Amino acid sequence: MAQDAEKVIDHFELFRGAEYTGMLANKKRLFEDPVAAEELERVKEWTKSKEYCEKNFARECLTINPAKACQPLGAVFAALGFEGTLPFVHGSQGCVAYYRSHFSRHFKEPTSAVSSSMTEDAAVFGGLNNLIDGMANAYSLYKPKMIAVSTTCMAEVIGDDLNAYIKGAKEKKSIPMDFDVPFAHTPAFVGSHVTGYDNVMKGILEHFWNGKAGTVPKLERQPNGKLNFIGGFDGYTVGNMREIKRLFDLMGVEYTILGDNSDVWDTPGDGKFRMYDGGTTLEDAANAIHANATISMQEFCTEKTLDLIEARGQEVIAFNHPIGVEGTDRFLMEVARLTGKSIPDSIAKERGRLVDAIADSNAHIHGKKFAIYGDPDLTLGLAAFLLELGGEPIHILSTNGGKEWVQKVDALLASSPFGKDCHVYAGKDLWHMRSLLFTEPVDFLIGNTYGKFLERDTKTPLIRIGFPIFDRHHHHRYPVWGYQGGLNVLVKILDRIFEHMDATTNDVAKNDYSFDIIR
Amino acid sequence: MSGNVGVEEVKERNKQLISDVLEVYPEKFGKRRAKHLTTFEADKGECAVKSNIKSIPGVMTIRGCAYAGSKGVVWGPIKDMVHISHGPVGCGQYSWAARRNYYIGTTGVDSFVTMQFTSDFQEKDIVFGGDKKLSTIIDEIETLFPLNKGISIQSECPIGLIGDDIEAVSKAKAKQYNKTIVPVRCEGFRGVSQSLGHHIANDSIRDWVFDKLGDKPARFESTPYDVAIIGDYNIGGDAWSSRILLEEMGLRVIAQWSGDGTLAELESTPRAKLNVLHCYRSMSYISRHMEEKYGTPWVEYNFFGPSKIAASLREIASHFDDAIKQGAERVIVKYQALTDAIIAKYLPRLEGKKVMLFVGGLRPRHVIGAYEDLGVEVIGTGYEFGHNDDYQRTAHYVKDGTLIYDDVTGFEFEKFVEKIQPDLVGSGVKEKYIFQKMGVPFRQMHSWDYSGPYHGYDGFAIFARDMDMAINSPVWRMTKTPW
């Protein structure tokens, strides 16, 4: 017996003992009808081949291990960025359980959202009553300042009309007539989580700017010199938002963050649960119409939102998740241009420190080959940073990337000699990436937690950057934007390179001459 | 809760607590929720709550859906089959590798549990239907994963709404490839929770695995001691630390449902002499079916904590001859020293602590014995998706004055814990961080908080260690500022 009260062992060690390995070997041999060992080995090797890669890329209908989620996830993300806001997802209830779990596994924080819990009868008769009752319950129990409604695919397939339903809920007195209920249709079979973010952000601004569902006059824009900032769907939102606010404060910029999730996903452990914390105030959301300009950090998360803002007369500027020196330079210079503020010396010093750090360390990254996958904006930001570091992107893949994304990436790659060997894959998944890592290997892979399966199969060391990160804690607290954020990303990359270097130079009397104490 | 006076006070407090939370609801819904909340009265001998009925909208139910019950629970762990999440991308994405159904296999070659296969529905699939796409997907699976033993189609909400005929596709493709292909109508809007998904998944095994067996020859010679483990999902290795005990007592486990399970094991199960059932809620249906159709008796067991393990080993052994009965006694004796040492170590650190649970369909009662073995008292419990028969069974576990809450809402759970201030809450990941922020120790009782196994004697040691680690962590001293 392996277990011992003095040193209790769990799944990591328990099942490695002979009593368990023997038992499981018998199970396999006698009862599992296993594939013959040689056949297993043959097929395993075949999955690494060029031939397999071609068959894999010939797939037309099957998606395997995609790097994207569905619209309503982004809807909940966007809604949670507003003060006292309860995301209300109209449709089946299981979806909401999934979004809440998914975010909690990434942020290690509670995520509050409710569902209208539609079932079979609602599939037949529509979900009007579910929405009316759900509004009344949510309002009574959770006392939100605003309820932001989005939809699951069920409600979309049966064609529920949110605008009419919300009016119905107000007429039935589920909520006061003047209560703020912005909404957006967010069908899961269109786009991805970044689309859902965009739709809800747009829905919230439309609500406040266009007369709050007919209850007040439309707002007339009176430019006030302020700057709006939208982060987009971002796994690093906690650290990033705080870093952006710090930079804006240093510059003396008057700004409104539209969708600030940094407090609601980082509440203190002080004996109290805060269902709501921080976020853009509803007043600020309304007044954001008067800003001179809006900056989006993620173009593909805010396409429709920026169209709306631009149509109301603001200048809009979109970045692609800028990471590193030049991306941050461009971002700050745009902020300076749009606000008339200068970039203070203290920020120039931060820049200098990042440049200094790159000078110190780039030898370890120069010429290394990378594969990157993730959301369209993030992959662009990461690729640009790698090019700055002298790293060579070889595969860039985005399951939710489209033609425009490909054009942007191609243009970026063409701008640097380090980008010349790179291929870009839109709409592909991590099973495609697996083939690529076998047939055209790279030194390092950059992606989210799911990349660990690729690391295991292909032995390509994984640098965890993206969303979700389930199996490392607290990374979301550290920014990847700004020069400080660039430094964080640089260190993440370097740490993995050094770990890998150590792990491959520690064979005693064979290669441990390179097991250097100074690197 | 020592002595009757204490119990009466607790009952009075619970009554007040229940009335306090109900007051906050709109009247109509307060009345509906009232039927789900009660205090267990030992002299009445029942947990008088309504269960397995629709959650009310807008309340932050902790429940999931039928798809979660079928793909996430019953089918997903069958390792040598490919399970297609059929519909939009999200459902499969959020449930991808999230349930810790451990297995041994070469993932992507002969095993597929921790992969996400989806038809990633687009608007055109909703408009024109997805049957053709599904058919092509099955072809592509056959091309890229030739060692798969079969395929299941896990329906997401749109499938049942757009009128797709996944059964026809399955039949045609099963014939073409001479393979098991199982269409599962587990659309998320069906039923009121995960529970109907379990039932639908059970029925799909009956209809598309058992009923298609024909005259397939047996893969092994039967023995009088052949049993199948039903309803253990091998979370953190639970089924393995259970199987070892059954084998040590002289039984032969011919199948695991469904943790670390295979299609071959499903197919062999009707040959078992006894089905031993851990999760009654999710697999009683197929157990009853096998009893009716194949005459296979089944027995419920509980492998949480030494008291229940010993009772269960004896109960299982009672279905066999003396050799097995002696085997059960031998196993109990073998682990006695470990059990004693674990209790000697942890009971003094845990005695008198109070815990509140809210889990799925089995553990709200099943783990109570394990806590009691460590001197910990369960003072509140409830099910996400239990039925009336679960609450009946719960009455045999809980003590007088236990607070019972069915399909608890986020609001109710938070208020109950806030007032009662238990020493530990055991529930899921959505609840974990809420209570930890309140300064209340917490363990996830679905995923074992990434630890485990908790089943069997080996698991009990880990359970005891983990509960101690949670309750007695130094972090809880620091939640308040010292100034």
Q: To the nearest 10°, the Cα dihedral for B345, B348, B352, B355?
A: -30
Question: CA B25, CA B416: separation in Å to the nearest integer?
Answer: 15
Question: CA torsion sign, A458 to A463 to A468 to A469?
Answer: positive
For residues B223 and B306, is the Cβ–Cβ distance under 8 A? no
What the block records as the tokens of B195 is 């529970």
Backbone angles phi, psi at A93, to 5 degrees: -80, -25
Helix ranges, B395-445 (H): 410-420, 429-437
pLDDT confidence bin for A23, thresholds 50/70/90: very high
- Other Cβ atoms within 10 Å of A16 Cβ, number: 11
CA–centroid distance for A254 within its chain: 27
Query: What does the pLDDT average to over B166-171?
Result: 98
The answer on pLDDT for B74 being more than 60 is: yes
Q: What is the DSSP letter of A514?
A: G
Which two three-digit tokens encode residue A59? 């797939």
Q: Is a pLDDT exceeding 70 seen at residue A178?
A: yes
Q: What is the least distance, in Å, from the CA of B402 to any CA of chain A? A: 24
With pLDDT > 90 as the criterion, what percentage of chain A qualifies?
100
SS3 per residue for A425-448: EECCCHHHHHHHHHHCCCCEEEEC
Q: What would the two tokens of residue A150 be?
A: 């989005």
Contacts of A473 in chain B (CB under 8 A): none
Q: Where are the beta strands (DSSP E) in A344-391?
A: 369-373
Give B123's pLDDT tier (boundaries 50, 70, 90). very high
Residue B476 touches partner A, C-beta closer than 8 Å: no
Residue of B442, B429, B475 lying closest to B64 (CA atoms): B429
Token pair recorded at residue B273:
């002499």
A431-434, long-range: CB < 8 A, 24+ apart: A431/A56, A431/A64, A431/A65, A431/B108, A431/B115, A431/B144, A432/A56, A432/A57, A432/A397, A433/A371, A433/A373, A433/A395, A433/A397, A434/A47, A434/A56, A434/A458, A434/B108
What is residue A451's predicted lDDT score, i.e. its pLDDT?
98
Ramachandran bin of A509, using left for φ above 0, alpha for ψ from -120 to 50, beta for the remaining angles: left
Q: What is the pLDDT of residue B1?
A: 42
Confidence class of residue B265 from pLDDT cuts 50, 70 and 90? Answer: very high
Grouping H, G, I as helix, E, B as strand and the rest as coil, residue B426 is strand
In this predicted structure, what is the pLDDT of residue A1?
Answer: 75
User: What CA–CA distance (Å, rounded) separates B196 from B184?
Assistant: 12
Nearest CA among A431, A407, A434 for reference residue B115: A431
Query: To the nearest whole angstrom, how far is the Cα of B82 from the nearest Cα of chain A?
Result: 11
pLDDT at position A102 over 80: yes
Q: What is the pLDDT of residues B372-397, one digit of tens each?
A: 999 999 999 999 999 999 999 999 99
Q: Does the active-site annotation cover B68?
A: yes
Any long-range contacts for A314-321 (C-beta under 8 Å, 24+ apart)? Answer: A314/A221, A314/A228, A317/A293, A319/A295, A319/A377, A319/A381, A320/A376, A320/A377, A320/A380, A320/A381, A320/A384, A320/A408, A321/A232, A321/A234, A321/A297, A321/A375, A321/A377, A321/A378, A321/A380, A321/A381, A321/A382, A321/A481
Rounded CA-CA distance B186/A11 in Å is 32
The question of whether B186 is a catalytic residue gets the answer no
User: Is the CB of A134 less than 8 angstroms away from the CB of B60?
Assistant: no
Question: Which segments of A217-357 are extended strands (E)?
Answer: 227-230, 255-258, 293-296, 315-318
Q: What is the pLDDT of residue A366?
A: 98
Paired tokens of A148:
């932001």
Averaged pLDDT, A155-176: 97
CB contact under 8 A, B219 and A8: no
Pairwise CB contact (< 8 Å): B114 & A453? yes
Look up residue B83 and give its two tokens.
């399970």
Bridge partners of residue B269, in order along the sequence? none
Q: Is the pLDDT of residue B2 over 50?
A: no
Is B357 in contact with B426 (CB distance < 8 Å)?
A: yes
Give yes or no for a contact between A165 and A127, defined as CB atoms under 8 angstroms apart. Answer: yes
Among A105, A158, A273, the residue with its CB nearest the CB of B438 is A273
Query: Taking residues A488-500, what's their average pLDDT?
Result: 98
Tokens 């995609």, residue located: A66
**CB-CB contact of B225 with B324 (8 Å):** yes
- Beta strand pairing status for B403-405 and B37-39? antiparallel
Question: HSE-up of A356 (CA within 13 Å, CB side)?
Answer: 7
Distance of CA B282 to the CA centre of its chain: 7
CA distance A239 to chain B (A): 19
Catalytic status, residue B366: no
Chains A and B form CB pairs within 8 A to the count of 345
Confidence bin at B5 (pLDDT 50/70/90): low
pLDDT of the residue at A2 = 87
Mean pLDDT of B324-350: 98
Of the candidates B57, B91, B108, the beta carbon closest to that of A134 is on B57
Residue A333, amino acid: M
**Mean pLDDT of all residues in A419-424:** 98
Which of A95, A149, A153, A264 is the catalytic position? A153
- For residue B188, CA distances in Å to A93, A129, A457, A463, B116 come to 8, 19, 33, 35, 18
- Higher-scoring residue by pLDDT: B313, B5: B313
3-state secondary structure of A213: coil
B113, pLDDT greater than 80: yes
**pLDDT higher than threshold 90 for residue B3:** no
Task: Report the amino acid identity of residue A188.
Answer: A
Which is nearest to B47 in space by CA: B393, B288, B351?
Answer: B393
Spatial distance between the Cα atoms of A463 and A388, rounded to a whole number of angstroms? 17
* Chain A CB within 8 Å of residue B451 CB: yes
Strand ranges (DSSP E) for B78-139?
Answer: 81-86, 117-118
Put simply, the answer to whether A271 touches B64 (Cβ < 8 Å) is no
Over range B209-230, report the average pLDDT. 96
**ipTM for the whole predicted complex goes beyond 0.85:** yes
- B26 and A137 within 8 Å at the Cβ level: the answer is yes
Looking at residue B315, its pLDDT comes to 98
CA gap A492, A499 in Å, rounded:
11
Q: Looking at residue A476, what DSSP letter applies? A: G
Q: Which helix (H) or strand (E) holds B37?
A: strand B37-39
- Rounded to 5 degrees, what angle do the CA atoms B254, B260, B264 make? 50
Amino acid at A268: P
Q: Which of residues 252-311 of A touch B (CB under 8 A)?
A: 267-274
Question: The whole model's pTM is what?
Answer: 0.98
Taking CA–CA distances from A133, the nearest residue in chain B reads: B57
> Is B4's pLDDT higher than 80?
no
Strand-by-strand arrangement of the A85-90 sheet: A114-115, A85-90, A146-151
Directed axis angle between helix B429-437 and helix B410-420, to 10°? 40
3-state percent breakdown (helix, strand, coil) of chain B, nearest 5:
50, 15, 35
pLDDT at B223: 98
Q: Note the residue count of chain B.
A: 483
CB contact residues (below 8 A), chain B span 298-327, against chain A: none
Task: Tell if the CB–CB gap between A44 and B106 is shorter than 8 Å.
Answer: yes
Q: Distance, in angstroms, between B414 CA and closest chain A CA?
A: 9
Burial code of A337-354, b = ≥16 C-beta within 10 A, e = fewer?
Answer: ebbebebeeebeebbeeb
The residue among B387, B386, B389, B367 whose CA lies nearest residue B378 is B367
Confidence bin at A219 (pLDDT 50/70/90): very high
Give the list of residues 6+ apart from residue A267 with CB closer than 8 angstroms, or none.
Answer: A109, A110, A273, A274, A277, B437
